[in-house]
Amino acid sequence: MSNIIKVLKGTKDILPQDIEMWHFLEKKAEQVFSKYGFKEIRTPIIEVTELFSRGVGDTTDIVNKEMYTFEKSDRSITLRPENTAGVVRSFIENGMSRLSAPVKLWYHGPMFRYERPQAGRQRQFHQVGVEMFGIEQATADAEVILAAVNYLKALGLHDLDVEINSLGCPKCREEFKTNLKQVLKPYFDELCEDCQKRYEKNPLRLLDCKVESCKKIFEKPEVQEVIKSDFICDECSEHYTELKLYLQKMGVKFSENKLLVRGLDYYNRTVFEIKSNNLGSQNAVAGGGRYDSLVEQLGGEHTPAVGFAMGMERLISLLPTKEPKKLDAYVVSTFQTDAFLMAEELRHQGLNVEFDLTNKKFSKQLEKASKVAKYAIILGEDEILNHQVSIKNLEQGKQITVDRANCVKMMSL
């Protein structure tokens, strides 16, 4: 048994007994997001590496440390670590900018990042998310946040905290970056290695650091004064004020978090996270924001955009398990040809049906039926001769005999 090939570390099989939960998440996503006019899109899980180095940002941990990249036919290929860049690539390549705004898209599927596996976080993980293109007003931000909140509520999750912040636009946050670097300069040597690199390349991302020693530096009074400063310009401030007003009107409870910057380079203005109080320190279940420059950055026309993504494994960890669906019926008979024909007849009428392929004893078949099906369709010698079936409700224990033609009708009563 020592030579058994096992699943790669950081990946998991989704087994039949677990698949109901995944179907539940996917079905609810389609139901909720469709109400807001979002259409499903499916992009490849492999893309050219440049898409992520340009789109996600070459100063991010994702690009620097976590991507699965390989060379093929003199091209650098990467398994997608997130899907916003891929959706933007598809938006540009397929001429969606010519469509009437807003263009609303939603997706679900696997992503890949090389990082230490832990609860709710794997190297192959799954996300569900939405992207909206073409609207610069705060109505778009508010609707995206509301769609996220209502999706979580539809799943049965209510113990949630919504945190928001505004990063301003590239122009108005330059002064903030300068002031942040200045106040952190005396503590440069105490910053972690990653933050020392971010200090020059992308100082805003310093605030996203999870290292405790860095977090203590950010808590110092003089640093907090810069962090909490009202640096955004009048236009960005008006956008942020409108967002908060819309959220209040829609009944979305939220708090403001000046340290919230998200881990990707493309965000501007609105960023947000939705957190669960049942996940411990790694408690974010959804995150997103506005990325008005990304379409242009990847070769398209200037297009305002906003979206979010949720980790599906984390969502599943918060939900009660679902029992696997039972078959509609199990045909119980020692007359195997008749059982086979009966099973196929019921399948053609839209039912999920099995029968015993090995022709075990009647009692063994009935025992199996009680575990996997709602009804046992019994075909004994008398039933076959009289063109009848006996239907046993396996939950209630009641049994009736009816004409074969009425089998499906009687099961629905």
* 375 and 236 both lie in a single domain: no
Same domain, 300 and 369: no
Say what the pLDDT of residue 58 is. Answer: 64
Across-strand partners of 307? 131, 289
Q: Containing domain of residue 367, as a range?
A: 327-411
pLDDT digits (tens, 9 = 90+) for 135-147: 999 999 999 999 9
Question: E strands along 54-102, which residues?
Answer: 68-72, 75-79
CA 270, 207, 248, 150 torsion: positive or negative? positive
Rounded to two decimals, the pTM is 0.88
Residue 210 lies in a domain: no
Same domain, 367 and 296: no
CATH number for 375: 3.40.50.800
Q: Give residue 187's pLDDT.
A: 86
pLDDT in tens, 361-410: 999 999 999 999 999 999 999 999 999 999 999 999 999 999 999 998 88
**How sure is the predictor about 197, in pLDDT bands with cuts at 50, 70 and 90?**
confident
* Residue 366: per-residue pLDDT: 96
Query: By percentage, how much of the chain surpasses pLDDT 90?
Result: 67
- Same domain for 91 and 46: yes
Q: How many domains does the chain have?
A: 2
Tell me which DSSP letter residue 160 carries: E
Residue 126 sits in the same domain as residue 158: yes
Around Cβ 272, how many Cβ atoms within 10 Å?
25
138 belongs to a structural domain: yes
In 3D space, the residue among 11, 89, 105 whose CA is nearest the CA of residue 49 turns out to be: 89
Q: Is the peptide bond before 102 cis (omega within 30 degrees of 0)?
A: yes
Do 264 and 372 fall into the same domain?
no
Neighbours of 8 (CB within 10 A): 10
Do the beta carbons of residue 141 and residue 240 sit within 8 Å? no
* CB atoms closer than 10 angstroms to residue 21: 18
- Assess whether 158 and 238 both reside in one domain: yes
Copy the structure tokens of residue 250: 């829609």
Contact in structure between 298 and 85 (CB atoms under 8 Å): yes
Dump pLDDT digits (tens) for 63-110. Answer: 777 899 999 888 999 999 999 999 999 999 999 999 999 999 999 999
CA separation for the pair 256, 172 (Å, rounded): 19
Chain position carrying tokens 């259409």: 39
Name residue, tokens 């690009």.
63
Domain check: are 338 and 385 in the same one? Answer: yes
Q: How far is CA 210 from CA 111, 191, 237, 291, in A?
A: 22, 12, 28, 23
Tell me the CA distances in angstroms from 118 to 9, 15, 282, 382, one per residue in order. Answer: 11, 19, 10, 59
User: Is residue 191 pLDDT above 90, yes or no?
Assistant: no
Predicted pLDDT of residue 282 = 63
DSSP secondary structure letters along 301-316: ----EEEEEEEHHHHH
Is 382 contained in some domain?
Answer: yes
The helix/strand/coil state of 212 is helix
- The DSSP 8-state label assigned to residue 121 in this structure reads B
Q: Both 291 and 168 in a single domain?
A: yes
Q: What are the structure tokens assigned to 302, written together?
A: 């200037």
Residues 140 and 287 in one domain: yes
Answer yes or no: is 344 within a domain.
yes
Has residue 59 been placed in a domain?
yes
256 within a domain of the structure (yes/no): yes
Q: Which residues contact 149 (CB under 8 A, 6 or more apart)?
A: 160, 162, 252, 274
Pairing of strands 124-133, 305-311: antiparallel
- Quickly count: other Cβ atoms within 10 Å of residue 160's Cβ: 20
